[in-house]
Amino acid sequence: MPAPLLARAKINYALHVTGRRADGYHLLQSLVAFAEFGDVLSAEPTAGADHALTLKGPFAGALAADTAGDNKTGDNLVLRALDALARAFGTALPPLALTLDKRLPVASGIGGGSADAAAALRLGFAAMAGREPGEDEMARLAEIAGTLGADVPMCLASTPALVSGTGTEVASLPRFPGHAILLANPGLPVATPEVFARLERRDNPPLSPLADSDLATFDALVGWLEGTRNDLETPALRLAPPIAEVLAALRVAPGARLARMSGSGATCFALFAGIEEAEREARRLTDRHPGWWIQAAPVAAVA
Ligand code: C5P
């Protein structure tokens, strides 16, 4: 059986909404990176006739009950990913007993459900083929991922990328400076379609070009990010005002270089040069806001 997979939290460091397609989906440009923290998906063979999924972990109950947002298909997005995989490759997949350790809050703008679906595709492929996918097979997995949700393709590799289109066009970044991230969520699920619906403008300015030198150091990355935005922040704040308190707390955290909301919220993040600073601020925020979900994690370098 394949080893358990980490379904890393996806963070939109910048997210510009630049248009809307005729089918209602929005065109966007985003720089995404992934924390070394996430849900964990594991699989065992089963004597049963079908795949089975067991949820555990701090947000298992929230996932089972969730009807709010981009995780609304929640647990069965993992099972749908396995079905789509078997159909696309025309191969029978041995029935799997899956366990999803749900450590990321649901409907929270950090891609939990999408990361789980991407992990299911990779785990399912490994169970089917007994090896990692090659380049052509990865491209097919990305196609299948796009049918499961706009954020699923970027979660497949879960490495820093510039994404465009509706989110399904993913260009991996050739280098990325390692640093640390602090994630904070006020415990309030946000429905992605409702945030998009509250946008005042859908033709916002695009991202400024990203030069190789902008990725050379953490300082350079922060400098580039200062000229970017998350266009979903204003509509999300209107829908869920407590997000403002989270942003304010992160902005004044000593050592925080940039504080912003991820995706359609409500999770916000702050970037730090090192994990010790991020963990220190995580402890401080946890003391002050016991009701919030708070997590510090490294963001791996790409060299
Ligand atoms: O693709 P996914 O199921 O993750 O998207 C959830 C919802 O977010 C969509 O139904 C749509 O309302 C909104 N969305 C959008 N434009 C995008 C991505 C998502 O309007 N590019």
Task: Round the average pLDDT of the chain to a whole number and report it.
Answer: 94
CA distance 52 to 242: 37
Confidence of residue 29 (pLDDT cuts 50, 70, 90): very high
Find out whether 113 is annotated in a ligand binding site. yes
**pTM tops 0.80:** yes
CA distance 254 to 196: 32
Q: Which two tokens stand for residue 109?
A: 């703008």
Q: Looking at 69-83, 110-124, 155-169, 284-298, which range is the least confident one? A: 69-83
Mutate to test the pocket of ligand 1, among 166, 190, 196, 202 (most ligand atoms within 8 A of CB): 196
Residue that finishes a domain, picked among 114, 146, 172? 172
Are 184 and 143 within one domain?
A: no
Are 10 and 130 within one domain?
A: yes
0.90 surpassed by complex ipTM:
yes
Q: Is 192 helix (H, G, I), strand (E, B) or coil?
A: helix
Are 35 and 50 within one domain?
A: yes
Q: Which amino acid is at 45?
A: P
What does the pLDDT read at residue 216? Answer: 98
Distance 128 CA to ligand 1 centre (A): 30
Element (H, E) at 77: helix 74-89
CA distance 149 to 137: 19
Find out whether 181 is annotated in a ligand binding site. no
- Is the pLDDT reported for residue 66 higher than 80? no
- Is the pLDDT reported for residue 74 higher than 60? no
Q: Looking at 26-30, 66-70, 117-121, 157-161, which range is the least confident one? A: 66-70
CA distance 234 to 244: 10
- Report the domain count for the chain: 2
As a residue count, the chain comes to: 303
- Is the pLDDT reported for residue 239 higher than 80? yes
What does the pLDDT read at residue 91? Answer: 82
For residues 224-239, average pLDDT: 98
**Which residues constitute the domain of residue 34?**
5-172
Are 109 and 203 within one domain?
A: no
